[in-house]
Amino acid sequence: MNIDNLKSQMRKGMLEFCVLLLLRNGDAYASQIIASMKDAHLIVMEGTLYPLLTRLKNDGLLAYRWEESPSGPPRKYYSLTPLGFQFLEQLKSSWDEISHTVNHILAPDSFSSSSQSSSESAIEVLPPPIEINEVIPTQE
């Protein structure tokens, strides 16, 4: 496997998380999402983004509305649903744990040994993966 293929796989894996992160700050249409990703040095093609947005909408994580545009056809603005915000928080928590684990492996001396017993591996303390179709109970 070459490094470019691995980089591509890693970026695809992070794309859903990044889209949800961008939308937590407010509604956006696809071209804005692509531009924001480009500003963050993550190049996303329309052919990749549109199917992802459709899947996230079908999973109940996103909603959309049409809005007239002064410079062309109407635009479809995407927004996070309450379920989308909950799912994003779970993804963020998982990201924090994974990031901590990788950083610990990269620089083990910078982490205290008290944060984890020697009999526990960092991978074992991660929660089970979250399925996107899993129903997340709402808090009332």
Distance CA(78)–CA(66), nearest Å, equals: 9
Burial 33-46 (b: 16+ CB within 10 A, else e): bbebbeeeeeebee
- How much is the pTM? 0.73
Distance CA(123)–CA(125), nearest Å, equals: 6
Q: Torsions phi, psi of 77, nearest 5?
A: -95, 125
pLDDT, tens digit, for every residue of 112-129?
A: 654 444 444 444 444 444
92-112: average pLDDT: 88
Q: Return the pLDDT at 112.
A: 60
Q: Torsions phi, psi of 79, nearest 5?
A: -145, 155
Domains with residue ranges and CATH for the chain:
3-125 (1.10.10.10)
pLDDT, tens digit, for every residue of 37-93?
A: 999 998 899 999 999 999 999 999 999 999 999 999 999 999 999 999 999 999 999
Distance CA(113)–CA(79), nearest Å, equals: 41
Q: Return the pLDDT at 132.
A: 41
